[in-house]
């Protein structure tokens, strides 16, 4: 099966109903995308499919064959740079396991809403669980990445 | 709740990809569907009584969790057989497809996959079409009011029930969820017969 | 060098209360609660503000927490740990029910075991690390124990009803506490 991952053409020999997350991690060795709950509850496996955040654990790989998949390894652009800078400056991660998913969602939000308010941030990020509960810093970092340090 | 949780837990327990179930065979209306047959309803002579009796059957479909969960009274969809608030916390957004950063399609794909329902058109019904918590009479009045049914006239209403691809999901959920009663064709026929009988509604 | 375990808890209660501006006029339906605890040779006092609306929906607008962990090597890390430990405690107090059926834990994954999410976390959170040259204590866990009692006290202040059982929300994902609080 032919895939486009982070702008690169990849070919994998897998069943169409293999979860995209398995293909990324086990077949392509791209382990930045994390396995959390496996049932679309925690958001740790978030990738972008044609720019839209998508839980890779419940995405059959056959459904993304003709589409652009972006993972944390290939996340680029002004929003991604701003988010990475803010995450570092504010020391967001603790254990770090959920953070790839958090960043994928945060960047997707900022691509659509340049200066999100608290409600917009909470609604966008509600699908990404953090057991270290870094939520307050995530919220602050998204504001910071948006150039709004209030 | 228990059933719902069990289904999710079973799915959660899968540590590797499992092949999806074979495409579900269309569910055919039968006495087991829990719906009265259209023929027995058509035998009711009085128009108003017939319309109300038919709508009672339509109501069994509309108020089933497969339909009701996406016609919530708030901005949040419901989930499972008990109609519990959806987790994760999601909201309808501007067009019923979610908000920037967390859209329905972030989890709901084009087909059912594992325990997650899927449909290419997955979204919430508009707030004007909220049914949750309402009486059947109130839902009935709403269904035939173009201002609160998505602007559908009678023909469009029948077509929506009988052919809409997202409505079709109601009879084709993932294995751990119960399908709506009957089948989509029956649902369309019931709505057509109800309209033909004058679209009378149960008392509010 | 100060002696471990003999400092008056009052010091920390007063600091947390000051941080939260204890005694200020609160909006209708709001309440402040406070708790203090010593664990892992570290003191933490926490104030939680809750808002409970007429239908029993609970939100946590603010949390203030002070920690004395003795000598702190990396204060920013300690602050982050105090934030996380406190919210972890609130998450468990709100939702963290674990039950067993036929020898098996029922809550096998997040669908059945709710945890605090971004939309449930406080909009305002302030933490303070006390400067000290006492022997170092823990910084990861000590934020957790005072969170639940501070929350329960805040609910009492807001509603007049004592929380007698945790978690505060039943497993039915209700977003309302009215029925559950007194059970």
The predicted pLDDT at position C56 comes to 85
Measured CA angle at A16 (ends A11, A22), to 5 deg: 70
**Peptide bond between residue C167 and the one before it cis (omega within 30 degrees of 0):** yes
Which pLDDT value is given to residue C180?
Answer: 47
Gap from A78 CA to chain C (nearest CA, Å): 24
Facing residue for B109 by CB, picked from A58, A112, A120: A58
Chain C residues in contact with A136 (beta carbon < 8 A): 83, 87, 121-122, 125
User: A52 contacts in B (CB within 8 Å)?
Assistant: 103, 105-106
Asked if this assembly's ipTM is beyond 0.90, the reply is yes
At A73-89, the pLDDT tens digits run 999 999 999 999 999 99
How confident is the model at residue C45, as a pLDDT?
98
Q: What phi-psi label fits residue A45: left (phi over 0), alpha (psi between -120 and 50 degrees) or beta?
A: alpha
**What's the pLDDT score for residue B204?**
85
Residue B198 has pLDDT above 50, yes or no: yes
Dihedral Cα B193, B198, B201, B203, nearest 10 deg = -140
**Which of A14, A57, A124 should one mutate to test binding to chain B, selecting the residue with the greatest count of B CBs within 10 A?**
A124
Percentage of residues in chain B having pLDDT higher than 90: 78
Average pLDDT, chain B: 86
Nearest Cα of chain B lies from the Cα of A29 at a distance, in angstroms, of: 16
Q: Which structural domains are found in chain A, ordered by start?
A: 2-70 (3.10.20.30), 78-145 (1.10.150.120)
Given a cut of 80, is residue C173 above it in pLDDT? no
Task: Write the pLDDT tens digit of every residue in A21-65.
Answer: 999 999 999 999 999 999 999 999 999 999 999 999 999 999 999
Interface membership of A63 toward B (CB under 8 Å): yes
- pLDDT tops 60 at residue B3: no
Under CATH, what is the fold of the domain C9-92+123-160? Aldehyde Oxidoreductase; domain 4 (3.30.365)
pLDDT of C170 = 74
**Per-residue pLDDT at C155:** 95
**Cβ(A56)–Cβ(A36) below 8 Å:** no
CA distance C76 to chain A (A): 8
Q: A147: exposed, middle or buried (C-beta count within 10 Å: 0-12, 13-18, 19+)? A: exposed
A117–B contact, CB cutoff 8 A: no
Note the pLDDT of residue C149.
Answer: 98
CA distance B73 to B65: 13
Cross-chain residue pair B87–C110, CB shorter than 8 Å:
yes
Q: In A, what residues contact C, Cβ < 8 A?
A: 37-39, 41-42, 91, 94, 118, 121-123, 125-139
Distance between B5 CA and the closest CA of chain C, angstroms: 6
pLDDT of residue A114: 97
Report pLDDT for C120.
94
- C106-143 pLDDT, tens digit per residue, is 999 998 899 999 999 999 999 999 999 999 999 999 99
Q: Residue B34's pLDDT is what?
A: 84
pLDDT above 70 for B12: no
Nearest to A125 among C84, C118, C125 (CB): C118
pLDDT band at B9 (very low <50, low <70, confident <90, very high): very low
Computed over every residue of chain A, the mean pLDDT equals 96
What is the structure's pLDDT at C111? 87
Is C178 a residue whose pLDDT tops 80? no
Asked if pLDDT for residue A109 goes beyond 60, the answer is: yes
Q: For residue A24, what are the CA distances in angstroms to A94, A111, B27?
A: 24, 24, 37
Instruction: Give the residue from C64, C81, C89, C118 with the most A CB atoms within 10 Å of its CB, the best one to mutate.
Output: C118
Q: Interface partners of A (3+ CB pairs, < 8 Å)?
A: B, C
């Amino acid at each position: 099966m032919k895939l486009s991952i982070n702008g690169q053409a990849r070919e994998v020999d897998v069943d169409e109903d293999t979860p995209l997350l398995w293909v990324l991690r086990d077949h392509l060795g791209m382990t930045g995308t994390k396995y959390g709950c496996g049932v679309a509850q925690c958001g740790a496996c978030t990738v972008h499919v044609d720019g839209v955040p998508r839980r890779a654990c419940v995405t059959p790989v056959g459904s993304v064959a003709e589409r652009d998949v972006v993972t944390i390894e290939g996340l680029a652009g002004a929003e991604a740079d701003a988010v990475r800078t803010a995450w570092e400056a504010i020391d967001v991660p603790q254990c770090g396991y959920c953070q790839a998913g958090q960043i994928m969602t945060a960047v997707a939000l900022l691509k659509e809403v340049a200066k999100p308010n608290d409600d917009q941030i909470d609604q966008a990020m509600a699908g990404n669980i953090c057991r270290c509960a870094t939520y307050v810093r995530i919220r602050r970092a998204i504001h910071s990445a948006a150039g709004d340090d209030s | 709740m228990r059933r719902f949780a069990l289904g999710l837990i079973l799915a959660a327990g899968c540590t590797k990809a499992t092949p999806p179930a074979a495409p579900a065979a269309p569910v055919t209306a039968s006495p087991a569907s829990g719906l009265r047959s259209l023929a027995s309803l058509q035998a009711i002579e009085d128009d108003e009584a017939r319309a109300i009796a038919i709508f009672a059957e339509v109501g069994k479909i509309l108020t089933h969790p497969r339909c009701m969960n996406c016609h919530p009274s708030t901005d949040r969809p419901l989930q499972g057989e008990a109609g519990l608030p959806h987790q994760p916390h999601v909201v309808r957004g501007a067009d019923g497809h979610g908000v920037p950063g967390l859209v329905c399609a972030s989890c709901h794909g084009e087909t059912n996959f594992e325990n997650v329902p899927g449909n290419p058109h997955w979204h919430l019904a508009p707030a004007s079409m909220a049914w949750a918590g309402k009486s059947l009479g109130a839902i009935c009045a709403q269904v035939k009011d173009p201002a609160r049914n998505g602007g559908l006239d009678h023909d469009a209403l029948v077509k929506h029930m009988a052919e809409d691809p997202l409505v079709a999901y109601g009879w084709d959920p993932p294995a751990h969820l119960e399908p709506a009663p009957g089948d989509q064709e029956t649902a369309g026929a019931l709505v057509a017969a109800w309209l033909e009988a004058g679209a009378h509604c149960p008392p509010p | 060098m100060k002696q471990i375990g003999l400092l008056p808890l009052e010091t920390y209660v007063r600091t947390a209360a000051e941080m939260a501006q204890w005694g200020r006029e609160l909006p209708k339906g709001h309440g402040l609660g406070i708790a203090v605890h010593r664990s892992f040779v570290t003191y933490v006092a926490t104030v939680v503000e809750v808002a409970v609306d007429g239908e029993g929906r609970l939100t946590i607008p603010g949390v203030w927490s002070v920690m004395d962990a003795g000598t702190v090597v990396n204060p920013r890390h300690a602050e982050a740990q105090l934030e996380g430990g406190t919210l972890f405690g609130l998450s468990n107090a709100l939702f963290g029910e674990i039950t067993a059926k036929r020898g098996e834990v029922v809550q096998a994954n997040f669908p059945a075991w709710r945890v605090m999410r971004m939309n449930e976390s406080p909009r305002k959170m302030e933490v303070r690390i006390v400067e000290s040259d006492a022997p170092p204590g823990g910084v990861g866990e000590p934020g957790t124990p005072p969170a639940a009692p501070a929350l329960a006290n805040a609910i009492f202040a807001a509603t007049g009803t004592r929380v007698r059982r945790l978690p505060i929300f039943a497993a039915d994902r209700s977003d309302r506490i009215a029925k559950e609080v007194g059970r």
